[in-house]
Structure 1
């Protein structure tokens, strides 16, 4: 979809951050596992100086204008094979993942078997047991009716689903100054509304999944998940996302 925005086939879109990285390697920082560890982190990383930092990078590297962000909350794990609340439970589980190198390496490091797969194939793949599960925010899992083919949800926090609202630079620059200001204000307002909307809708979707019979569980040893992911996955991608210093700067800005 970002490709369509860049070439002007469509004017704008809301795109999952993991689908942005093929066009902007530096933004891959935002898909590092356990970089964003809370909703507050997600807000900090997309507003103020950090928010402006990503806007400049996406304009330069991807040729798109970011006018706001959507917050879809953390990607939680669903599966049809067994309850997962520890690393041991995760071992060998076949998980559908996007074709994103960082996400693939994360699930490998945690002991699962990631299977890269296009999004439209996901439901059928789970239905036919080609894969055991997948990860997405609660709202996506409920909207896509994954409760029909998944039995368990595990509340992991390895990746917060950030989605920039983007417009093509060519399109944006073709607007009058008045219209540019209007679009910019609308983007800010949309981001503020989504921030309020996301928390409540995520909880509602989780409860609806439970009502549909999906068993819900917390991760008992997620500190171990985080340590493995940060120790083993982060270093593999430093060179492609701007270097360790760039990552350290973001971590410092988050107050850690």
Structure 2
């Protein structure tokens, strides 16, 4: 071979190398569609984990042609503000606690009636109320009508609220009496606590750590991982896990935006959300196990069990009639939800 042919071969090899190294992979390709998804919390929080799982799944399922920009840490405001932005379309999607979307779509309040669900599987398990299926289809009809522009495309939980105490196990309803309990000023929660004969302290969340540390209150409730992630284990030594109130969150999208997409792009987003509903439920279960292990082995926390759970449930459900006005569709929608839970159909 001549030197000229050697030179041409070298140039060709160099050109092929450039082509291979510079051609973007599908994941690196410039997206055709970009949308934003806002939520309340850090990226490693349960809400952030869902949001980033969804962004990754959409990118994979669209070969990088659809991109979700996740807005972590509440940069778009409170959850209620995020819901309003999604309604207006200034943010395309939000991962938001359901009661904070219920200001725009009151039918969602059915999800947070005390003891409506008996565990995470009732919400995010196969056939659960937040999973794709007949119930969510019916829920969405109501959400679209009430909000004008919102559609639920996914759902997840951060498990249920647990009851925390500084100095002793709370394992019966009698143990609540005389305790100084912090709780949000929320009509559903207020009615629930009152059904148990308790008046709570409506202290702002940002002031709760100080209130626990100084003894202004000696108990409060929240998802269990809060104790580990926010350092409450310095003062909280007893945790009672119950199933009175879930942290039920929905992923909502601006429906006019969704309908503006091609059928293929819509299918990618909806299918991706269905897949993440399943993977995130597994993540929550694994995270709960990790949190339990760390709290017991590293911080000496004692987990307590209720001795009279049926009494708690009976009294709390007795407060439902005074909450029907908060639920879009009222008692009829509550009864339809109970029927679906019992039978799998309406």
**Structure 2 length-normalised TM:** 0.67
Partners of 1:170 and 1:130 lie apart in 2 by: 48
User: In the alignment, which residue of structure 1 is the partner of 2:305?
Assistant: 218
Instruction: Indicate the residue corresponding to 1:198 in structure 2.
Output: 284
Partner of 2:23: none
**Cα shift at 1:9:** 4.5
TM-aligned CA deviation for residue 197 of structure 1: 1.5
Change (3 A) 1:108 1:169: same
Question: Is 1:46 the equivalent of 2:133?
Answer: no
User: Does 241-250 or 156-165 show the bigger shift?
Assistant: 241-250
Q: Point out which structure has higher relative CO (alpha carbons under 8 A, 6+ apart).
A: 1
Whole-angstrom CA distance in 1 between matches of 2:180 and 2:312: 17
Q: Provide the rounded CA distance (Å) in 1 between the counterparts of 2:339 and 2:223.
A: 26
Matched, 1:120 2:206: yes
In structure 2, the CA distance between the partners of 1:168 and 1:195, relative to structure 1 (3 Å rule), is same
**Offset at residue 183 of structure 1 (A):** 1.4
Question: Highest Rg: 1 or 2?
Answer: 2
| Structure 2: gaps spanning 5 or more residues | 1-78
Q: Distance in 2 between matches of 1:228 and 1:208?
A: 33
Instruction: Deviation per CA, 1:132-168: give whole Å up to 9, x if none.
Output: 2322222333222321232210111101221111223
CA distance in 2, matches of 1:167, 1:115: 35
Counterpart pick for 2:150 among 60, 64, 76: 64
The unaligned stretches of length 5 or more in structure 1 are none
- Aligned pair partner of 1:26 in 80, 103, 107: 107
TM-score by length of 1: 0.89
Distance 2:293 2:279 in 1: 22
What is the Cα-based RMSD across aligned positions, in Å? 2.2
Deviation at 1:81, TM superposition (A): 4.2
How many residues align? The count is 255
SS in 2 for 1:92: coil
Q: Secondary structure at the match of 2:270?
A: helix
CA distance, structure 2, for counterparts of residue 245 and residue 171 of structure 1 = 31
The SS at the match of 1:52 is helix
